[in-house]
Amino acid sequence: MTRLPVNPGRRGRRILNAYNIMRRPRLVARRQAEKVSASSSSPTRSALNVVILISGRGSNMEAIVRAVQAGHIPNVSVRHVISNVADAPGMETARQHGIECSAISDMDKLAARLRQLKPDIVCMAGFMRIVPPEIVREHTVLNIHPSLLPMYPGLHAQRQALEDDAKWSGCTVHYADEGVDTGPIIVQYAVPVRPDDTEETLSGRILEKEHVAYPHAVMLVAGRIARERAQVTGGGGRGASTRQR
C-alpha cells in the first residue's frame, strides 16, 4: 500500500495530489466543484443585475429587495424598478430603498430600455401588462402568479380557486415565455383554501407565501447563472448566454 506523508512539504503535496487524482477521483471532482461554488459566491465577483417590473403596490418587489439587502441572495443587485403606471405606490417604496425607478408604459420603449440596462434577470412582480415576445427572447424573465400553475392562469386566480371549490392553492414563480402565465416552473408554495375564505383572505394567505417564493426563485436562478458562467469562463466572466427554455 502507498504510504502517504503525514506532514507533506511541496514535494509531498505533489505526491498526495497525484495519489488523489489516481485513486480518489470523486474527492478531486468534489474539491474542484467546491472551488467553483466558492468563487461564484465570492463578494469580489460582479453582482448579477436584476430589474423588477411592477404595476402597483410592489410588495413582491420589496420582498426581493429586502432579501438582497439582508444578504439572502448573494451577488445580486436590484439596479432598477420600472413601472408601467407612473404613480404606482411601489415606485415610492423602491425609491425609499435607494433604487432608481422609471415609469414606462409603452412596451416598445420598455424593450429598448431593458436592452440598455442589460439585466441578468428581469422579475415581473405584479406587472399587469403582457410583455412583447422580444423581451422574453432577449432576457431571462421571471413571473409570479397567485395560483399553483397550471391551475387558474390569468386574472383573478384566487377567485377562480374559490369558485372551483379548490382545497389548495398557492403561488408559482416561473420563467416567462411568450404565453400568459406559462413557462417552466421554478418554485411553487401551497396554502390551504379554508371553507370561510373570501377572495381577500385567500389572497392575503397566498401573498405571504409569494414574499418567500420570489426571493427563493431569484436565489435559485442567480445561483444557476453564476454556476453556468463559472463553468463557461473557468470562474469569472459575465459574457455567457444563460437563457433556459
Least gap, CB of 176 to ligand GRF (angstroms): 12
Question: Does residue 170 interact with ligand GRF by CB under 6 A?
Answer: no
Q: What are 158's three cell numbers?
A: 384566487
Determine if 186 is a binding residue for ligand GRF (CB under 6 A).
no
Q: Of residues 47, 48, 51, 56, which one binds ligand GRF by CB under 6 A?
A: 56
- At residue 70, φ and ψ (nearest 5 deg) are -80, 0
Is 126 an interacting residue with respect to ligand GRF (CB under 6 A)? yes
Q: How many CB atoms lie within 10 A of CB 6?
A: 6
135 within 8 A of 111, measured Cβ to Cβ: yes
CA distance linking residue 156 with residue 90, whole number of Å: 20
Catalytic entry in 145, 174, 211, 216: 145
Catalytic residue status for 216: no
Q: What is the CA radius of gyration of the chain?
A: 22
In degrees rounded to 5, what are phi and psi of residue 107? -70, -30
Question: DSSP labels for 176-197?
Answer: --SSSS-S-EEEEEEEEPPTT-
The binder of ligand GRF chosen from 28, 57, 182, 236 (CB under 6 A): 57
C-alpha dihedral sign at 204, 97, 91, 140: negative
How many C-beta neighbours within 10 Å does residue 210 have? 23
Q: Which is nearer to ligand GRF, 90 or 119 (CB)?
A: 90
207 binds ligand GRF (CB under 6 A): yes
Q: What are φ and ψ of residue 219, in 5° steps?
A: -60, -45
Q: From CA 150, how far away is CA 212, in angstroms rounded?
A: 20
Among 210, 213, 215, 219, binds ligand GRF (CB under 6 A): 210
Tell me how far, at minimum, the Cβ of 101 lies from ligand GRF, in Å.
14
Cβ closest to ligand GRF, residue 135 vs residue 230: 135
CB closest to ligand GRF, residue no: 126
Tell me if 148 contacts ligand GRF by CB under 6 A: no
Which neighbouring-strand residues pair with 171? 189
Which of residues 205 and 238 has its CB atom nearest to ligand GRF in the complex?
205
Contact string 61-90 vs ligand GRF (x = CB under 6 A): -----------------------------x
Q: Catalytic site residues? A: 145
Residue numbers at the binding site for ligand GRF (CB under 6 A): 54, 56-60, 90, 125-126, 144-146, 207, 210
